[in-house]
Amino acid sequence: METVEKKSAVETYIEQRKSSDSEPICAYVYDLELLKEHATSIKESLPSFCRFYYAVKANPARELLQTLEPIVDGFEVASIGEIGKVSNVSGKPMLFGGPGKKDSEIENAMDHNVEYFNVESFHELNRMNYIAKQNEVTLPVLLRVNLSENVSESNIRMSGVPSQFGVDERDVQDLIKKAMELQNIDVRGFHYHAMSNNLDAHAHVRFVEMCIEKSLAWRDEYELNNPIIDIGGGVGINYWNPDQPFDWETLATGLSQCETAYKDENLTLFLEIGRYVTAECGSYVAEVLDVKTNHSEHYAVIRGGSHHLRFPAAWKISQPFSIYPIDEWRYPFERPEITDTKVTVAGELCTPNDVLVRKEYVNRLRAGDVLVFEYAGAYGWTISHHDFLSHPHPEHVYI
């Protein structure tokens, strides 16, 4: 990749660190103004029948939650831990999902600002009703559907394939009947989170249309109230070719067309967006410790690695990156470097799986230069195995 000028948040951090500390750079750097602008543009693009929830699992950092709080309509959470983190910064409503809710989590969630509970199975429905009855409350629920057909070519599919998520569409009618029999359950709609990192906006629009049609059919058959339709998230980041991002405008236009087409149905559409909201605002910044050639292939070893940023190793991809050149060299001997060739970027762990970049072209790369890994603001630090080999953690910088 070409050496390019970085955004000011990263530049500011690198310049300050190199002028004040000789330890190799290793940090997550977040541009909160960029996050604010991006989230605001998402919110403003949505038609009025949509509600914009942030999927906290993408990045639960307090500083990010505080930045998003004035913009989003609420938060999608998947544990009592996430509920606590949201409660510390916001009084806005939460949606509580996840395939393995514990009894204590369900009960504790009732004491927080959880607006709706996702039902993932018949057994969970029975447990929710039992707990709600003990607490003398009625739980508003969304029934999670595992659709019978695949809906996209996304990287991870949670619908149209066997999975631990939701109820098989063929069994949903029985689930509706069961829920309607329970005194402490109020069926408010359906949840369809079906994909992760989808890059096809047209497929996403078709998916929304399908969810609406199925929800309306079940509403009419079982005389339900006008349903909430939670389409989940799954809007992707193009890590392979960042110059061809997900076409958000196509999705926003499609949602507006759906609002017009179903204007007499009084529908509410929920979106739970995580990765697409926060990925671009965060960079993982790591200094090159060594550059070497091994069996005719070139390697750069960085301070850091997959124990900080697990995503590229887990998905076997190259994380998009750029090079921030550092001209100073403090040693009295030669500086290792490579030019006009492909490099594999590895971390400091004692495993060959600790790879963040796989054979990508660079004009020039030297020990002491700094690599800036882009789109690290989602599924970065909290999804990684921090303490393997007990290396120091990176800094976390919010600018």
- Residue 1 and residue 323 in contact, taking contact as beta carbons nearer than 8 Å: yes
pLDDT for position 6: 44
Q: Are residues 105 and 198 in the same domain?
A: yes
162 within domain boundaries:
yes
- Find the CATH number of the domain harbouring 316: 2.40.37.10
- Residue 208 and residue 267 in contact, taking contact as beta carbons nearer than 8 Å: no
287 forms bridges with which residues in the sheet? 370
127 vs 306: CA distance, rounded Å: 38
Tell me the per-residue pLDDT of 52-104, one tens digit each, with 9 for 90 and over.
999 999 999 999 999 999 999 999 999 999 999 999 999 999 999 988 999 99
Tell me the per-residue pLDDT of 221-264, one tens digit each, with 9 for 90 and over.
999 988 999 999 999 999 999 999 999 999 999 999 999 999 99
262 within domain boundaries:
yes
SS3 282: strand
Q: Can you read off the two tokens belonging to residue 1?
A: 């990749």
pLDDT at residue 186 greater than cutoff 90: yes
Q: Are residues 118 and 20 in the same domain?
A: no
117 within domain boundaries:
yes
Residue where a domain terminates, one of 241, 273, 305 = 273
Residue where a domain terminates, one of 241, 257, 273 = 273
Active-site residue among 26, 50, 211, 350?
Answer: 350
Q: Are residues 238 and 205 in the same domain?
A: yes
Most distant CA atoms of the chain, gap in Å = 80
- Find the CATH number of the domain harbouring 238: 3.20.20.10
pLDDT for position 20: 79
- Residue 137 and residue 115 in contact, taking contact as beta carbons nearer than 8 Å: no
Q: Can you read off the two tokens belonging to residue 280?
A: 């671009």
Q: Give percent above pLDDT 70 in the chain.
A: 95
Count CA within 13 A, CB hemisphere, residue 119: 27
- Report the number of distinct structural domains present in the chain: 2
Range of the domain at 233: 93-273
Mean pLDDT of 144-173: 73
Top mean pLDDT of 2-11, 83-92, 106-115, 150-159 is at 83-92
Q: Are residues 303 and 267 in the same domain?
A: no
- Residue 367 and residue 286 in contact, taking contact as beta carbons nearer than 8 Å: no
SS3 track for 12-26: HHHHHHHHHCCCCCE
Instruction: Tell how far CA 124 is from the center of its chain.
Output: 25
Confidence of residue 147 (pLDDT cuts 50, 70, 90): confident
Q: Are residues 110 and 241 in the same domain?
A: yes
Q: Give percent above pLDDT 90 in the chain.
A: 86
Q: Are residues 119 and 247 in the same domain?
A: yes
Q: Can you read off the two tokens belonging to residue 116?
A: 């709706």
Q: Which of 35-39, 161-165, 274-278 has the lowest mean pLDDT?
A: 161-165
Please name which of 391, 373, 388 lies closest in space to residue 28, comparing C-alpha atoms.
Answer: 373
321 within domain boundaries:
yes
126 within domain boundaries:
yes
pLDDT for position 161: 66
- Residue 25 and residue 397 in contact, taking contact as beta carbons nearer than 8 Å: no
**To 10 degrees, the CA torsion angle through 84, 89, 92, 95?**
-30
SS3 track for 48-93: CCEEEEEEHHHCCCHHHHHHHCCCCCEEEECCHHHHHHHHCCCCCC
Q: Are residues 267 and 127 in the same domain?
A: yes
Residue where a domain terminates, one of 217, 243, 273 = 273
Residue type, 153: E
Q: Are residues 266 and 296 in the same domain?
A: no
45 within domain boundaries:
no
Q: Are residues 315 and 252 in the same domain?
A: no
Q: Are residues 99 and 239 in the same domain?
A: yes
pLDDT for position 148: 72
pLDDT for position 174: 96
Active site residue 50: no
Q: Are residues 250 and 285 in the same domain?
A: no
Q: Are residues 268 and 122 in the same domain?
A: yes
pLDDT at residue 195 greater than cutoff 90: no
